[in-house]
Amino acid sequence: MDINTQAPVIAREEIRIDADVQTVWDVLADVEHWPSWNKGVRSMTLHGSVATGTSFEWKAGPGTIKSRIAEVDPPHRIVWTGVTLGIKAVDAFSFEASEGGTLVRQAESWEGLPVRFLRSRMERTLRGSLREGLRSLKSEAERRAAAAAAA
């Protein structure tokens, strides 16, 4: 599954992380601990294991997001869908070994009535959210990699 390339709002970001792919994957796939390293996530409830079809609910931004994992290919790719406040999202991450670290690519699409009416604002919000989330992922993965190297 990929994002909806026909959606009114699409954002793509990438970041290079100084940690191996497995470490980066482990941080992101540990869904229930997102609030401990990503300040944009206030709470998280995972209903099962990280597997295709598993649902989870989380609080980020102004509301609760009801999500479902659509695709999992550890440690290379994860995609989930989400719905909140009339917005339907598809969020896709890919992880690739790069220069002794990991290149993380994230793409997300938003559609729904609020998005159509507030497109420019929603685009800025989404792009900022992706950048902030990737910076947080980088910080936590690099912290874990450094701790493992020091042990």
* pLDDT score for 63: 87
Burial class (CB in 10 A: 0-12, 13-18, 19+), 145: buried
Across 67-76, average pLDDT: 98
Is 9-150 CATH 3.30.530.20? yes
Domains of the chain, by residue range, sit at: 9-150
**What tokens were used for 131?**
């950048």
Q: What is the pTM of this model?
A: 0.95
* pLDDT score for 129: 95
* pLDDT score for 62: 82
Across 63-84, average pLDDT: 97
Instruction: Kindly report, residue by residue over 38-68, the tens digit of the pLDDT.
Output: 999 999 999 999 999 999 999 988 889 999 9
Across 71-78, average pLDDT: 98
What type of residue is 131?
R
Is the pLDDT confidence value at 13 over 90? yes
Across 3-20, average pLDDT: 98
- Distance between CA atoms of residues 5 and 107, nearest Å: 10
Instruction: Kindly report, residue by residue over 86-145, the tens digit of the pLDDT.
Output: 999 999 999 999 989 999 999 999 999 999 999 999 999 999 999 999 999 999 999 999
HSE of 92, CA atoms in CB hemisphere, 13 A: 17
* pLDDT score for 61: 80
Instruction: Kindly report, residue by residue over 119-132, the tens digit of the pLDDT.
Output: 999 999 999 999 99
Tallying the residues shown for the chain, one arrives at 151
